[in-house]
Amino acid sequence: MGKQRQAQLFSPEFWADPFPYFARLRAEEPVHRAILPPRTPIWFVTRHEDVLALLKDDRFAKNRSLAMTAEQLRRMPWVPPMFRPLERNMLDCDPPDHTRLRALVQKAFTPRLVERMQGRVETLADELLDAVQGRGEMDLIRDYALPLPMTIIAEILGVPTRDRDRFHRWTKVIVSVNAFKVSWRVFPAVWHFTRYLKRFFALRRAEPGDDLTSALIQAQVAGDKLSEDELLAMAFLLLIAGHETTVNLIASSVLELLRHPDQLDQLRRDPSLIGTAVEELLRFTAPVFLATERYALEDLELRGVAIPRGGLVFAALGSANRDATVFRDPDRLDVTRTDNKHLGFGQGIHYCLGAPLARLEARVAFETLLRRMPGLRLKAPVGSLRWRRSLILRGLEKLPVSF
């Protein structure tokens, strides 16, 4: 059964619908050992209770150098020098470094900022649909789900929106790479991205603006100990995390609403349900399917399964969000679901900093689309849609629709 599961993990059917695979794991092997290329053992944690505990478990570290022995570190895949500064981001840090880095960027994602951005998000959503209105069709990702969050995070950071297409080309390659096997095709993307950011930092040092990048640079000068590598990693993370996950949420949600016309009709009849619908779609579509990696700081057991020191463990958020012990009828999309303890944004100290902004962008995206395009429908068979081959993020390559 283990080899059969291993084969399923890399099949086209898995990328399109990973939920049955993880349902079997929850029932039969809730902490599951797998092998990822080239020969990396990992463990999936799949049940809601266990995922929630793992996300708060201080026996696990995000920084692998804290968990692994010198011998284990020597056996890890080689990390090219251009990648090493990017490891100084919040997702790969533990306290006290994580605490300091998060505090520096926390000011950008306050409720006040989200409230201030609402009008801009609404205007942008309308502008994007204005641009395609006369065509009668669009790729919902290229024309709407991508430029909406990309433009907003670029504006928050002070990056010219004209560069957003380049950013997406780079980030699309970068997020497709996993921690176990570095593809050579990612090198040019990382090189171009980091070179661009360094030039952008130089410009902002010379001409500070009213943006987050300028604030982070000024914090560095003021002695908050934000190193050059940390500044690079912070901007890199915010630009990627600030749009890639929301692109997936918007596009996958529209697909599911079109596949569940009763739920779409319910939203159209009662737009006040948009807030609960966003939470349900976060749960149901799993735009972030796995939380980023964690490493065991010691030999330990989870559900009776031995995990050695340095063992690489993934919390399967998308699996936890379909756990029948927590969610009634978990495989059913229900936009009226209120008791929704989903883990779509994680939990614990690494809870998604941009969650309020992502919720705002998704809510406005759905409200505007429902209002402007009552005849929205899929323009391709569901089975022909291509899903991105990423274990961490779950999203479509394209979503052709007509209206």
110: left (phi over 0), alpha (psi -120 to 50) or beta: beta
The closest alpha carbon to 279, from 202, 362, 191, 222, belongs to: 362
**Residue range 99-120: mean pLDDT, rounded:** 82
- pLDDT-derived band at 183 (thresholds 50, 70, 90) equals low
pLDDT in tens, 338-395: 999 999 999 999 999 889 999 999 999 999 999 999 999 999 999 999 998 888 899 9
**Reported CATH class of domain 2-402:** mainly alpha
CA dihedral 366, 102, 344, 94 (to 10 degrees): 160
User: Between 12 and 346, whose confidence is greater?
Assistant: 346
For 233-289, the DSSP string reads: HHHHHHHHHTTHHHHHHHHHHHHHHHH-HHHHHHHHH-GGGHHHHHHHHHHHH-SB-
**Residue range 141-147: mean pLDDT, rounded:** 95
Instruction: Give me the residue spans of the domains in the chain.
Output: 2-402
Return the SS3 of 360. Answer: helix
- pLDDT-derived band at 242 (thresholds 50, 70, 90) equals confident
The two three-digit tokens of residue 117, written as one number: 């951005």
User: Between 281 and 38, whose confidence is greater?
Assistant: 281
Asked if 350 contacts 358 with a C-beta cutoff of 8 angstroms, the reply is no
pLDDT at residue 286 greater than cutoff 50: yes
Which residues pair with residue 316 across a beta bridge?
290
CA–CA distance, 137 with 126 (Å, rounded to integer): 16
pLDDT at residue 61 greater than cutoff 90: yes
**Residue-level pLDDT at 359:** 95
pLDDT at residue 294 greater than cutoff 90: yes
CA–CA distance, 214 with 26 (Å, rounded to integer): 46
The closest alpha carbon to 314, from 208, 180, 191, belongs to: 180
- pLDDT-derived band at 216 (thresholds 50, 70, 90) equals confident
pLDDT in tens, 188-213: 888 898 899 999 999 999 999 988 88
Q: Hey, what amino acid is at 34?
A: A
**Residue-level pLDDT at 56:** 96
Q: Which residue has the tokens 């059969």?
A: 4
CA–CA distance, 204 with 198 (Å, rounded to integer): 10
**Residue-level pLDDT at 81:** 72
- pLDDT-derived band at 220 (thresholds 50, 70, 90) equals low
- Which own/partner pairs from 167-176 qualify as long-range (CB within 8 Å, at least 24 positions apart)? 167/193, 167/239, 167/243, 168/243, 171/239, 171/240, 171/243, 171/244, 174/240, 175/240, 175/244, 175/390, 175/392, 175/393, 176/388, 176/389, 176/390
**Residue-level pLDDT at 180:** 46
What percentage of the chain exceeds 70 in pLDDT?
91
pLDDT at residue 86 greater than cutoff 90: no
**Residue-level pLDDT at 383:** 93
Among 2-11, 149-158, 201-210, 230-239, which is the least confidently predicted range?
2-11
pLDDT at residue 88 greater than cutoff 70: yes
CA dist 46 to 126, 281, 365, Å? 39, 19, 31
The two three-digit tokens of residue 178, written as one number: 């996993």
User: Between 326 and 113, whose confidence is greater?
Assistant: 326
What's the chain's average pLDDT?
89
pLDDT at residue 108 greater than cutoff 50: yes
CA–CA distance, 88 with 100 (Å, rounded to integer): 12
**Residue range 283-310: mean pLDDT, rounded:** 96
**Residue-level pLDDT at 7:** 55
**Residue-level pLDDT at 176:** 64
**Residue-level pLDDT at 107:** 65
What percentage of the chain exceeds 90 in pLDDT?
61
pLDDT at residue 181 greater than cutoff 60: no
Helix, strand, coil percentages (3-state) for the chain, rounded to 5, are: 55, 10, 35
Asked if 244 contacts 175 with a C-beta cutoff of 8 angstroms, the reply is yes
Asked if 295 contacts 311 with a C-beta cutoff of 8 angstroms, the reply is yes
**Residue-level pLDDT at 179:** 44
pLDDT at residue 84 greater than cutoff 80: no
Side-chain-side CA neighbours of residue 286 (13 Å): 26
The secondary structure element, H or E, covering residue 156 is helix 147-157
**Residue-level pLDDT at 1:** 45
CA–CA distance, 33 with 45 (Å, rounded to integer): 9
